[in-house]
Amino acid sequence: MAKLLLLDDDPDTLTWMSALLEGLGHEVRTVLSGKRALTVLEKWTPDLIISDLLMPEMDGLTFARWVRRYRHVPVMFVSIARRQAEAVLAGAVGYVQKPATVQELREAVDRVLGRGARQNTILVVDDDIDIRVLYRSMLEPRFNVVDAEHGREALTVMRSQRVDLAIVDVHMPIMNGVELIRAMRADSALEGIPVIVETTDRDALNAPVWRDLHVSQRVDKMDFVAWLDRHVEAHTRAIDGRE
């Protein structure tokens, strides 16, 4: 079976997760902090890391970025926070919302182990080709990037291949961003895909509809390049004095 490293600052969470996963035949090691996990990774390479997101000293996103850069071990999150979009950009290959059930955790681990440390796929949906080219240049080669000119084309893409995150403009021809996300949330195969909405329309950005559609993040398009760069590029040089 697989070698698993569990990272959480809550000992009770580590206890029940390790008992479950050891019972399934996995080799499990547990740590209470990100810095301790870095030490473990110097001498031992797991097949999968399961991490909390909200932790003191080093949060899960920072830890996942470091792992992606230096160890190339798949990381999945089990967290109470709703930050799935940021998790994908940090390289996480799975996300389970706390409080998680035994079945949810077991199925998520099996799913991630079954596909390995493949790149996350990000779909960029924007009718401006220059924007699509810009975002692709920022995201590749860290991610597999696909794009679509409008919502209807985006649905075709998502139904033909796995997409881990959608970056969606609001105002587009044929099918706009709101219509696209409504269609996604009504489709059991697509409803769980996290979405970042980016637009220059401030009124649309603050519309209450996004809360109902469970949009992970809303960003003004003028600020989005800086936002994306901040979340894709890890500030890992400050981690434990490492370069």
Judged against a pLDDT cut of 70, whether residue 57 lies above it is answered with: yes
Domain that holds residue 211: 121-232
Kindly state whether residues 97 and 131 are assigned to the same domain. no
Kindly state whether residues 158 and 224 are assigned to the same domain. yes
Residue at 240 is within a domain: no
What does the block give as tokens for 237? 């040089």
- Mean pLDDT over 124-128 rounds to 97
CATH of the domain at 7: 3.40.50.2300
Kindly state whether residues 102 and 182 are assigned to the same domain. no
Kindly state whether residues 24 and 86 are assigned to the same domain. yes
Residue at 220 is within a domain: yes
Instruction: Report which of residues 33 and 226 the model is more confident about.
Output: 33
> In the chain, what percentage of residues exceed pLDDT 70?
94
Q: How many domains does the chain have?
A: 2
Closest CA to 66 of 42, 98, 85: 42
pTM recorded for the entire structure? 0.81
Predicted local confidence at residue 117, as pLDDT: 58
Kindly state whether residues 180 and 100 are assigned to the same domain. no
Residue with tokens 């077991």: 106
Question: CB neighbours of 126 closer than 8 A, spacing ≥ 6?
Answer: 132, 135, 147, 149, 167, 168, 169, 172
